[in-house]
């Protein structure tokens, strides 16, 4: 059965792709749940219109994410953590900490799942992480880890 996907589905295809699936999967799951349409002449004619609409919406989303990425680009986040005399942290800095710092210091909401940490951050110092807002838009976040109570 040929269908037009209305959403991205792992191991099946991307949004607005025409793919072949087993009849039962298409009829009993994808179509009733609004995830796909039957690829008949009428729906194939609508596909071009859907692609144009999708492209316009996607462009607006990408532009919004690029504004946020530009806001992040030139800054360095300051994080504090408990550390020993040797500069070793008593834990580690995680994507959750970066997400909270982005929200508190820059007013940018970024879910911890879109933040890629380069390595485990277990020492004081300067590091970089990548925030992937969209497959086409990512931003490099620089952050400095300082000991709690230092510089007061």
The pTM for the full model equals: 0.67
Q: Which residues of the chain have pLDDT under 50?
A: 152
pLDDT of residue 151: 52
Of the candidates 67, 46, 49, the residue with the CA atom closest to the CA atom of residue 57: 49
Paired tokens of 7? 């959403």
Give, in order, the Cα–Cα distances in Å from 86 to each of 37, 79, 123.
61, 18, 9
Contact 92, 122 (CB under 8 A): yes
pLDDT of residue 55: 83
pLDDT of residue 74: 83
Indicate the burial class of 73 (C-beta count within 10 angstroms; 0-12, 13-18, 19 or more): exposed
pLDDT of residue 150: 60
SS3 of 73-129 = HCCEEEEEECECCCCEEEEEECHHHHHHHHHHHHCCCCCHHHEECCCCEEECEEEEE
CATH topology of domain 2-61: Ribosomal Protein L9; domain 1 (3.40.5)
pLDDT of residue 152: 45
How many residues would you count in the chain? 152
Q: Which CATH class is domain 69-147?
A: alpha beta
Domain ranges of the chain: 2-61, 69-147
């Amino acid at each position: 059965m040929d269908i037009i996907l209305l959403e991205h589905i792992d191991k099946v295809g991307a949004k607005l792709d025409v793919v072949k699936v087993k009849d039962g999967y298409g009829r009993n799951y994808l179509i009733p749940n609004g995830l796909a349409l039957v690829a008949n002449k009428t729906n194939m004619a609508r596909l071009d219109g859907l692609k144009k609409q999708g492209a316009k919406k996607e462009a607006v989303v990408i532009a919004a994410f690029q504004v946020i990425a530009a806001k992040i680009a030139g800054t360095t986040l300051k994080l504090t953590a408990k550390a020993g005399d040797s500069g070793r942290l008593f834990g580690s800095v995680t994507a959750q900490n970066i997400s909270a710092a982005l929200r508190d210091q820059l007013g940018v909401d970024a879910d911890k799942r879109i933040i890629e940490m380069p390595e485990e951050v277990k020492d004081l110092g300067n590091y970089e992480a990548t925030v992937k807002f969209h497959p086409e838009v990512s931003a490099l976040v620089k952050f400095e880890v300082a000991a709690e109570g230092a510089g007061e």
